[in-house]
């Protein structure tokens, strides 16, 4: 107990005075009960030092983070009231996502500093992110990870703190997982009410929330013990892997018909051929390893999901909870595969990975090392080394040297907008 308290004190001290060191220390003691809290604290620091306007760029160009800061500055200089924000939300189809405007408004009442805004975003994002990660880590058996540390790291990297540059979509992702995962693994319904908040964070979560509610309302025995339901989900998942095109005009029309009236503008803005063509052109400009890494992740996870069925039936026949998670993940994965054909819809692949990776971890950590599925995962991990490296590499595109050597004190007077990747390029 004394050793644990000492480790906790060291972790909190480092988190305040040397967050990068605190991060390494926390990850080295990830089984400690305090680890998720120090990790949350470090996420807040990383949010505060996120580079939202890299050197040589103009604020507001590029990703959404610069535009968030411009909105903060505009609100700070305006006389808009909370009543005005809520009124605008009710009449303007462009403000369906209530979370980001409200958070920006509250911060704008006392500062126009973008770093304070992102620190505030990180308080919320980091809480749900840390809880989602440790919810799964705490369920892993108490034995060495071995090469599975690659899979654990990839879980951290599915939607890391750098995703604050798209705070609406990715905060919504972690809130959704936080609400659903305890129900799938423990039948706990106490957090399901969080589902209702996710469409207020990003409008597109309405669709997966309706899917999740429908799944919850299905009889539990049907979801866990019915071979017919299991095989329907399994076949649906396989079919969606090979669907390679959608009629976007027809899809847009169907979504408009099925969605609230306020969604019409957003749907037409996302689901049209011109947007698809522009995104295809932009994707073609990405480095080869970015697209290659995404493809490796996609096919590695999906092929392992297909191979998971005989493993679950052999070793986890009596574990209805893992089968529950498996069926949900198949259905969500199939939905994500279809949505990936829509411009911006590929973001739902990350949501499905937040369920696929924990499922794979919970299974592979509990089967014999000589079992076929465990060997298959070991082979997949060789290929997953590429997205493992690329995922870490992407972190260098979001932070400067302040993330490595700064702390909660220096954040107030030390600003550096030169990305870490630029330092590395200069050295090389």
Residue 250 in this model has a pLDDT that exceeds 50: no
Mean pLDDT on 292-298: 90
- pLDDT of amino acid 210: 93
Cβ atoms of residues 126 and 171 within 8 Å: no
Q: What is the mean pLDDT of residues 362-381?
A: 87
- What is the mean predicted confidence (pLDDT) over 348-370? 91
Q: What pLDDT digit, counting tens, does each position of 2-31 carry?
A: 666 788 999 999 999 999 999 999 999 999
Residue 291 has pLDDT above 90, yes or no: no
**Mean local confidence (pLDDT), 376-397:** 93
The dihedrals phi and psi of 287, each to the nearest 5 degrees, come to -60, 145
Across the chain, what does the average pLDDT equal? 85
pLDDT tens-digit readout, 121-175: 999 999 999 999 999 999 998 888 888 999 999 999 999 999 999 999 999 999 9
The predicted pLDDT at position 279 comes to: 46
What is the pLDDT, as a whole number, of residue 242? Answer: 84
260 pLDDT band, cuts 50/70/90, is: low
Q: Tell me the percentage of the chain whose pLDDT exceeds 70.
A: 83
Decide if pLDDT at 263 tops 60: no
What is the predicted pLDDT for the residue at 314? 76
Residue 94's pLDDT is 53
Which of 91-95, 204-208, 360-364 shows the highest mean pLDDT?
360-364
Q: Grade residue 96 by pLDDT with cuts at 50, 70 and 90.
A: low
- Which of 134-148, 210-224, 246-260 has the highest mean predicted lDDT (pLDDT)? 134-148
Mean per-residue pLDDT for 317-346? Answer: 84
* Percent of the residues in the chain that have a pLDDT greater than 90, as a whole number: 57
Please name which of 199, 157, 158 lies closest in space to residue 179, comparing C-alpha atoms.
199
Q: How confident is the model at residue 82 (pLDDT cuts 50, 70, 90)?
A: confident
pTM of the model: 0.90
Residue 400: pLDDT over 50:
yes
Q: What is the 3-state secondary structure (H, E, C) of the chain?
A: CHHHHHHHHHHHHHHHHCHHHHHHHHHHCCCCCCHHHHHHHHHHHHHHCCCCCCCCCCCCCCCHHHHHHHHHHHHHHCCCCHHHHHHHHHHCHHHCCCHHHHHHHHHHCCCCCHHHHHHHHHHHHHHHHHHHHHHHHCCCCCCCCHHHHHHHHHHHHHCCHHHHHHHHHHHHHHHHHHHHHHHHHHCCCCCHHHHHHHHHHCCCHHHHHHHHHHHHHCCHHHHHHCHHHHHHHHHHHHHHHCCCCCCHHHHHHHHHHHCCHHHHHHHHHHCCHHHHHHHHHHHHCCCHHHHHHHHHHHHHHHHHHHHHHHHHHHHCCCCHHHHHHHHHHHHHHHHHHHHCCCCCHHHHHHHHHHHHHHHHHHHHCCCCCCCHHHHHHHHHHHHHHHHHHHHHHHHCCCCCCHHHHCCCCHHHCCCCCCCHHHHHHHHC
The dihedral built from the CA positions of residue 206, 211, 212 and 217, taken in this order, carries a sign that is positive
The predicted pLDDT at position 252 comes to 45
Is there a contact between 151 and 384 (Cβ–Cβ < 8 Å)? yes
Lowest-pLDDT range of 39-43, 317-321, 350-354: 317-321
**Average pLDDT, integer, range 310-319:** 74
């Amino acid at each position: 107990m004394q050793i644990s308290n000492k480790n906790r004190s060291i972790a909190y001290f480092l988190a305040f005075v040397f967050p990068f060191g605190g991060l390494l220390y926390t990850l080295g003691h990830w089984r400690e009960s305090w680890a998720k809290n120090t990790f949350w604290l470090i996420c807040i620091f990383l949010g505060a030092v996120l580079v939202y306007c890299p050197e040589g760029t103009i604020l507001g160009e590029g990703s959404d983070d610069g535009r968030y800061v411009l909105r903060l500055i505009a609100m700070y200089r305006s006389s808009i009231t909370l009543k005005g924000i809520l009124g605008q939300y009710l009449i303007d189809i462009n403000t369906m996502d209530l979370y980001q405007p409200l958070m920006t408004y509250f911060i704008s009442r006392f500062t126009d500093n973008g770093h304070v805004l992102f620190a505030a975003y990180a308080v919320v994002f980091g809480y749900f992110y840390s809880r989602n990660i440790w919810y799964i880590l705490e369920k892993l058996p108490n034995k060495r990870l071995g090469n599975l540390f690659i899979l654990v790291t990839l879980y951290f990297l599915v939607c890391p703190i750098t995703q604050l540059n798209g705070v609406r979509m990715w905060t919504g992702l972690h809130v959704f997982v936080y609400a659903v995962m305890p129900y799938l693994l423990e039948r706990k319904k106490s957090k399901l009410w969080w589902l209702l908040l996710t469409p207020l964070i990003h409008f597109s979560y309405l669709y997966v929330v309706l899917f999740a509610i429908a799944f919850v309302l299905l009889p539990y025995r049907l979801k866990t013990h019915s071979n017919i339901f299991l095989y329907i989900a399994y076949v649906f998942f396989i079919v969606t892997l090979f669907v390679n095109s959608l009629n976007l005009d027809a899809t847009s029309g169907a979504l408009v018909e099925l969605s609230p009236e306020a969604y019409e503008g957003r749907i037409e803005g996302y689901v049209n051929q011109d947007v698809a063509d522009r995104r295809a052109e932009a994707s073609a400009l990405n480095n080869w390893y970015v697209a290659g890494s995404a493809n490796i992740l996609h096919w590695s996870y999906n092929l392992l999901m297909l191979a998971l069925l005989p493993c679950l039936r052999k070793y986890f026949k009596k574990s209805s909870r893992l089968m529950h998670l498996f069926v949900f993940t198949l259905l969500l994965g199939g939905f994500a595969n279809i949505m990936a054909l829509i411009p911006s819809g590929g973001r739902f692949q990350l949501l499905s990975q937040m369920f696929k990776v924990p499922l794979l971890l919970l299974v592979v950590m509990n089967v014999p090392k000589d079992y076929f599925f465990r060997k298959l995962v070991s082979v997949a991990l060789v290929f997953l080394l590429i997205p493992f490296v690329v995922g870490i590499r992407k972190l260098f595109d979001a932070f400067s040297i302040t993330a490595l050597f700064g702390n909660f004190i220096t954040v107030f007077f030390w600003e550096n907008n030169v990305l870490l990747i630029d330092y590395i390029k200069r050295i090389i």
